[in-house]
A and B are shown apart, each in its own frame.
Chain A
């Protein structure tokens, strides 16, 4: 940029400023709104006051703490199962040559791409048949369809990038494939596991369609459904202050995680989508 003229430099910084404002303003406005209550909400104001009433109200008026706990349990279990299954599967897909490997990879990819609603009625029947309707177990089962193909796909990409010498030396020493996965690959791979796990966690945390369809009671809802279904005293009046407070509560931890793992997340997303 050093050789740019002054007007293009100014233009460039205006563009950057526009990008930043466009990206940040809606969430900033949600924070500002979350601190307003009553009549204040109905005046547009761009600076926050510090009134935490909405934050208390969210927990008082509905089982929001329970909803958060539900989301944490479901997402954690689903991610743990997905990672366990994906580590060995991705080793086989990335490091062993067998016929049909490309087809299997494409199958895994297509599962991660097909519309959730296409499995809705079959999944409903399965969950009911297993007696898991309106339970966290049912949501865990359903969410595996989101996280498992994704983790397998991304870990396969990561595993492919590791040097051949890594396993060859171990094979020469007489290690079995399982030992190679657990003792050679796992130690080198844990940063990739953290990234993949985090991305899968976000996916499971945000899942809405299954959680909306397979739960019935307030207590079993996960956070996205709880936020979508917050209602006010009358059907004509939505408690926007509460909704904004709940939104801020569930988003701030995610944003902190994303900012901490920023570089790794970009790497993981790219590994999942683009192979250059």
Chain B
């Protein structure tokens, strides 16, 4: 953000002459460009620049600079053991005729597919379950506070801890899940949940749904609690079926809250790392894009290629976000409300 942009701005709010505050708004024409605005307004904007500067410098240092360097590294053959010694190789990390590059790596496409599959399934499940939990918690019943507190607990547990807890519960020989399923006779022999290619992704989804449904539920609950109660009263008096009320009134009204919650969760799901890394390690069956990029970067010491994967992940996420915001008409900045 350029400083000049801030300094030369036309001011939206009309100046308030001292002593007249609250005595109605002066005409808008008073705020002409550059010369316009009272001493106070200009002082406000000057200090706003000063107020923002430290935050912007730190953000540029810890986010802007590293992101720029990562994108730059994507076009080099840098390695981890000698990160200062590299050559510029153009698009070779992405595509080349010799060994193919990222775009021809089946492992990478497997990771892309895994990530998108995981994000779609888990966010869908979390939204549906979260909506059910939110609707239940929106009722008045004795002990509501306790149930709401209980629902918050999975959210409060660190991802690593939930991964280990579930890793133990899903243990092939001594896990409680297998014991329960064997007990009620659903399965006849223990399942190696996290090691078996057919069930490993299922296990990851299960843990993620357990951990983040509460977050979803609370965000939707907050949306539900802002709905006007009078239309429910009249719907009840008119004897309209509850499911009709839900689909015709509740769902449309709570849609903005759900839309924002979904995008927050989806962005989280698309960059998933911890849960998969701990639960199933570097297994190719469940490898996400983040796990793939870090493996290239750290385990295989290939900074250039790993950065190319990171950059690709960044682009995919940015693209999906823009498409979602435009298609879903999501008001993220909250400025319009």
Binding site for B on A (CB under 8 A): 1, 12, 15-16, 19-20, 22-24, 26-27, 29-30, 33, 41-42, 44, 81, 85-86, 88-89, 91-93, 96-100, 102-111, 113-126, 128, 141-142, 144-145, 148-149, 152, 157, 160, 165, 168-169, 171-172, 176-178, 181, 202, 205-206, 208-209, 212-213, 223-225, 227-228, 240, 243-244, 247, 250-251, 254-255, 257-259, 262, 265-266, 269-270, 273-276
Chain A residue at minimal CB-CB distance from B20: A172
Q: How far is the CB of B26 from chain A (nearest CB, A)?
A: 14
- Is the pair A114, B318 in contact by a Cβ cutoff of 8 Å? yes
Residues of B within 8 A of A (CB): 1, 5-6, 9-13, 16, 18-19, 21-22, 40, 43-45, 47-52, 54-56, 58-59, 61-63, 65-70, 72-73, 78, 80, 83, 132-133, 136, 139-141, 146-166, 168-169, 171, 173-174, 176, 179, 210, 214-215, 218-219, 221-223, 226, 256-257, 260-261, 264, 267, 270-271, 273-274, 277-278, 289-290, 293-294, 297-298, 303, 306-307, 310-311, 313-314, 317-318, 321, 331-335, 337
Q: A15, A29, A128, A247: which contacts B136 (Cβ < 8 A)?
A: A15
Name the prevailing secondary structure of the B interface residues: helix
Would you mind naming 18 contact pairs between A and B with Cβ atoms under 8 Å apart?
A: A1-B140, A27-B165, A30-B168, A92-B51, A109-B332, A121-B306, A123-B66, A144-B58, A145-B59, A149-B63, A157-B334, A169-B21, A255-B157, A259-B152, A273-B260, A273-B264, A275-B337, A276-B226
B160 close to A208 (CB less than 8 A): yes
Residues of B within 8 A of A117 (CB): 271, 273, 289-290, 293-294, 310, 313
Given contacts A27-B157, A42-B174, contact A96 B313 (CB under 8 A): no
- The listed residue with most A CB atoms (<10 A of its CB), out of B152, B155, B333, is B333
Smallest CB gap from A24: residue in B? B150
Interface contact A121-B219, CB-CB below 8 Å: no
**Which chain B residues border A96 with CB–CB below 8 Å?**
44-45, 47-48
- Closest CB in chain B relative to A180 CB, distance in Å: 9
- CB-CB under 8 A from B162, the residues of chain A are 26
By the criterion CB–CB under 8 Å, are A206 and B152 in contact?
Answer: no
Further contacts, 13 of them, CB under 8 A, given A148-B62, A275-B334: A1-B139, A23-B214, A29-B176, A85-B55, A102-B333, A110-B321, A123-B62, A141-B62, A149-B59, A208-B160, A251-B157, A273-B261, A274-B256
Do A276 and B176 touch across chains, with their CB atoms under 8 A apart? no
Give the chain B neighbours of A144 by CB distance below 8 A: 58, 62
A168 contacts B6, CB within 8 Å?
no
Take A22-B210, A172-B18, A273-B260 as given contacts and tell me if A92 and B48 are in contact as well, using a CB distance cutoff of 8 Å.
Answer: yes
Contacts of A145 in B (CB 8 A): 59, 62-63, 66
B164 touches A26 (CB 8 A): no
Question: Contacts A33-B168, A208-B273: A120 and B9 contacting too (C-beta < 8 A)?
Answer: no
Q: Contact between B43 and A122 (Cβ–Cβ < 8 Å)?
A: no
Chain B residues contacting A104 (CB-CB under 8 Å) are 1, 52
The one of A102, A110, A276 that contacts B257, using a Cβ cutoff of 8 Å: A276
Query: Are the CB atoms of A148 and B59 closer together than 8 Å?
Result: yes
B176 and A99 contact, CB distance less than 8 A: no
The answer to whether B9 and A98 touch across the interface, beta carbons within 8 angstroms, is yes
Residue of A whose beta carbon sits closest to that of B22: A168
Cβ-defined contact, B153 with A258, below 8 A: yes
| A240: contacting residue among B168, B257, B273, CB under 8 A | B168
